[in-house]
């Protein structure tokens, strides 16, 4: 079996989002309509169209004399969020920074709007692999939300989930598991035992258990998540993809590699249909699939998947994503295996050829 490693939890779902139109001030009905349209397009996974509308909303907020600073901040946050989700990372950071500068200038550092922008900025840092910055920024967002909303609020649980996601990416699985359980308990108090709103945290917790090797705890969570999806969610989404990954991990642990391959392929196809082709979540999905290919002896297929994943991570210009090193190591392992097999085949052919020549008796001329 090839020595090939997996990136655990790097695609665990974290919560980010738009600024609510309900807190808008004076930018006008046209601006409100654009914000709503942007949100609807994003929900429908139409990222390119939503970015165009979000740009319009930002221009109106800037140009309208009646706009407040909060209107501009919300518009900046929303556009940055969409760039981040579409893997246009270099465009996202500057917008978040502008939004924070405006809020700091008007002494709004302790508001829920500030907490939202900080949360989204932290998710951006997570995406590009800057985990220390992500943790610090999430902690700032968490502190604001706890001060205003209390410790058992859903928005507080969201940030706790997001911090756990970073800890998981850093392989601090025990700490990540504790935070996921804390966040899930808050969600259960609000929504009950089974509700689609809890899907991301349920699956994230399952992945954390898997990373710890605790498949007994992980499997029922994955199955419960799948039941909720089948009951409440009509169309495939990123929650579906993550749940399929979870089930793929379980099947892989049981050495049912064909079934694991099926789950991973379904997850990859969902992400391809929803996300920008250069999104790091697709790289993660490709890496997952390459592991099963390698175990099954499909080394050429594994190499193709890994090289596509590497292209995606290298596309995150200006950032050395932590997953890149792992992908390169996996590529090297596969190439060494293929090279070894090629050499073994050559020696096998040479050996057979030598045997043939040795069995041929020289003719004697008189």
Q: Whole-angstrom Cα distance, residue 196 to residue 191? A: 9
* pLDDT value at residue 222: 86
Could you tell me if residue 9 is inside a domain?
Answer: no
* pLDDT value at residue 199: 85
* pLDDT value at residue 9: 32
Q: Output the average pLDDT for the chain.
A: 83
State yes or no: pLDDT of 135 exceeds 90. yes
Could you tell me if residue 346 is inside a domain?
Answer: no
Of 28-37, 265-274, 309-318, which has the strongest mean pLDDT? Answer: 265-274
For the entire predicted model, the pTM comes to 0.75
Domain of 96: which CATH number?
1.25.40.10
State yes or no: pLDDT of 301 exceeds 80. yes
* pLDDT value at residue 352: 52
Structure tokens at 290: 């390459």
State yes or no: pLDDT of 7 exceeds 80. no
* pLDDT value at residue 270: 93
What DSSP line would sit under 251-287, residue for residue?
HHHTT-HHHHHHHHHHHHHHHHHHS-TT-HHHHHHHH
State yes or no: pLDDT of 349 exceeds 70. no
State yes or no: pLDDT of 88 exceeds 70. yes
What is the pLDDT averaged over residues 181-193? 92
Could you tell me if residue 65 is inside a domain?
Answer: yes
* pLDDT value at residue 271: 92
* pLDDT value at residue 127: 86
Residues 6+ apart with CB under 8 A from 299: 2, 293, 334, 337, 338, 341
Could you tell me if residue 7 is inside a domain?
Answer: no
State yes or no: pLDDT of 143 exceeds 60. yes
What is the pLDDT averaged over residues 50-58? 94
State yes or no: pLDDT of 2 exceeds 50. no
pLDDT tens digits, one per residue of 110-122 = 899 999 999 999 9
State the pLDDT confidence band at 198, using cuts at 50, 70 and 90: confident
- Pick from 115, 96, 103: nearest CA to 155: 115
pLDDT tens digits, one per residue of 29-45 = 788 899 989 988 888 87
> 101 is in which domain, residue-wise?
21-316+324-337
State the pLDDT confidence band at 65, using cuts at 50, 70 and 90: low
pLDDT tens digits, one per residue of 275-285 = 888 888 898 89
Tell which wins on pLDDT, 143 or 200.
143
Could you tell me if residue 127 is inside a domain?
Answer: yes
Q: What is the DSSP letter of 20?
A: P
**Radius of gyration (Cα) for the chain, nearest Å?**
25
Q: Is 264 helix (H, G, I), strand (E, B) or coil?
A: helix
Could you tell me if residue 35 is inside a domain?
Answer: yes
Tokens 């008796």 label which residue? 361
Could you tell me if residue 359 is inside a domain?
Answer: no
State yes or no: pLDDT of 176 exceeds 70. yes
State yes or no: pLDDT of 85 exceeds 80. yes
What DSSP line would sit under 337-364, residue for residue?
HHHHHHHHHHHHHHHHHHHHHHHSPPP-
H helix runs in 44-172, sequence order: 47-63, 69-85, 89-105, 112-127, 131-149, 154-169
Number of domains in the chain: 1
Could you tell me if residue 10 is inside a domain?
Answer: no
């Amino acid at each position: 079996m090839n020595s090939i490693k997996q990136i655990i939890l790097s695609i665990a779902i974290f919560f980010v989002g738009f600024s609510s139109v309900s807190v808008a001030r004076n930018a006008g009905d046209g601006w409100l309509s654009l914000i709503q349209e942007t949100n609807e397009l994003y929900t429908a996974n139409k990222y390119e169209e939503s970015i165009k509308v979000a740009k319009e909303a930002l221009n109106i907020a800037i140009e309208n004399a009646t706009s407040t600073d909060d209107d501009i901040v919300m518009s900046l946050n929303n556009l940055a969020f969409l760039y981040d989700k579409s893997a246009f990372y270099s465009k996202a950071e500057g917008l978040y920074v502008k939004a924070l500068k405006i809020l700091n200038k008007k002494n709004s550092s302790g508001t829920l709007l500030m907490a939202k922008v900080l949360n989204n900025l932290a998710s951006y840092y997570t995406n590009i692999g800057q985990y220390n910055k992500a943790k610090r920024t999430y902690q700032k967002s968490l502190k604001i939300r706890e001060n205003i909303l209390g410790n058992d609020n859903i928005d507080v649980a969201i940030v706790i989930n997001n911090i756990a996601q970073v800890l998981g990416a850093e392989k601090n699985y025990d700490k990540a598991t504790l935070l996921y359980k804390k966040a899930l308990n808050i969600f259960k108090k609000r929504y009950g035992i089974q509700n689609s709103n809890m899907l991301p945290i349920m699956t994230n917790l399952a992945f954390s258990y898997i990373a710890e090797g605790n498949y007994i705890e992980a499997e029922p969570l994955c199955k419960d998540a799948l039941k909720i999806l089948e009951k409440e969610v009509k169309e495939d989404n990123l929650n579906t993809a993550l749940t399929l990954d979870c089930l793929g991990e379980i099947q892989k642990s049981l050495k049912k590699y064909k079934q694991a391959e099926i789950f991973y392929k379904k997850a990859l196809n969902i992400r391809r249909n929803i996300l920008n082709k250069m999104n790091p979540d697709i790289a993660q999905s490709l890496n997952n699939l390459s592991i099963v290919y390698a175990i099954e002896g499909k080394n050429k297929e594994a190499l193709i998947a890994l090289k596509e994943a590497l292209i995606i991570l290298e596309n995150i210009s200006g950032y050395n994503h932590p997953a890149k090193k792992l992908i390169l190591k996996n590529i090297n392992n596969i190439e060494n295996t293929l090279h070894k097999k090629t050499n073994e085949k050559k020696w096998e052919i040479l050996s057979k050829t030598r045997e043939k020549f040795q069995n041929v008796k020289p003719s004697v001329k008189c």
